[in-house]
């Protein structure tokens, strides 16, 4: 039963089948928000109260518009939807900015390898350039955006590991699950409290 005093958000997630995506789904559902995830296979997730799946794309603003209409906010895990492809991640951001503006949705959280903005190695010049272009694109948009450094991804973790966190997990796995759950909780706070608008943040060292 929903707490009538808690505002319910309708959140859409791209890249939800990643380890952090699983943590985010579990955290938002725990807070009784409505969660929509974009999937190629609509049967990839078991049914849960408050969780809905739909197909959608990030190829252009029209595809984004079709996916996000009616939502309160959008989260996109760039490393999950376009891994190791800075150019594709820039194009996805362009599509998100255009689609969200047309859908009159202002809140966007982008999660990716943005630590390069603080410290880039000699072999990360192209990644840095694309990250700076993403920031410039967002700064010129009317969106209320936040960039979040992606935590270390752990293969094989799903929403089942986070809802709830089991004491039967192996110590190394449990530590990763707790770290990702903490990042997910921080991102949920960013949305509910409208924190760090127009900023780049990091939850883990």
- pLDDT digits over 33-55, tens only? 999 999 999 889 999 999 999 99
| Cα 167 to Cα 124: distance, rounded to the nearest angstrom | 39
Number of domains in the chain: 1
- The domain that holds 184 is classified in CATH as 3.40.50.720
Where the chain has pLDDT below 70, the residues are 1-6, 165-167, 205
CA distance to 121, 165, 178, per residue, from 169 (Å): 35, 8, 11
CB contact set of 84 (below 8 Å; sequence gap of 6+): none
pLDDT for position 166 = 66
Closest CA relative to residue 74, chosen from 167, 122, 133, 138: 138
> Is 1 contained in some domain?
no
Q: What is the pLDDT of residues 73-109, one digit of tens each?
A: 999 999 999 999 999 999 999 999 999 999 999 999 9
Q: Are 185 and 27 in contact (CB under 8 A)?
A: yes
Tokens 């770290």 map to which residue? 179
> Is 4 contained in some domain?
no
**Which helix (DSSP H) or strand (DSSP E) does residue 175 occupy?**
helix 171-193
pLDDT for position 7 = 75
Model pTM score: 0.93
> Is 2 contained in some domain?
no
Tell me which residue range forms the domain holding 115. Answer: 10-201
């Amino acid at each position: 039963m929903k707490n009538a005093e808690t505002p319910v958000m309708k959140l859409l997630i791209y890249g939800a089948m990643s380890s952090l995506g699983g943590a985010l789904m579990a955290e938002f559902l725990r807070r009784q928000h409505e969660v929509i995830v974009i999937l190629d296979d609509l049967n990839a997730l078991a049914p849960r109260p408050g969780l809905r799946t739909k197909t959608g794309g990030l190829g252009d603003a029209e595809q984004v518009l079709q996916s996000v209409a009616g939502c309160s906010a959008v989260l996109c895990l760039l490393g999950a939807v376009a891994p190791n492809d800075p150019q594709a991640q820039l194009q996805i951001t362009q599509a998100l900015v255009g689609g969200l503006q047309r859908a009159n949705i202002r809140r966007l959280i982008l999660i990716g390898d943005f630590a390069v903005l603080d410290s880039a190695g000699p072999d990360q010049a192209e990644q840095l350039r694309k990250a700076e272009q993403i920031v410039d694109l967002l700064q010129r948009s009317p969106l209320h955006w936040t960039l979040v450094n992606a935590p270390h991804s752990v293969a094989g973790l799903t929403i089942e590991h986070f809802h709830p966190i089991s004491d039967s997990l192996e110590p190394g796995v449990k530590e990763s699950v707790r770290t990702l759950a903490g990042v997910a909780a921080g991102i949920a706070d960013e949305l509910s409290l409208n924190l760090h608008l127009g900023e780049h943040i990091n939850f883990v060292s």
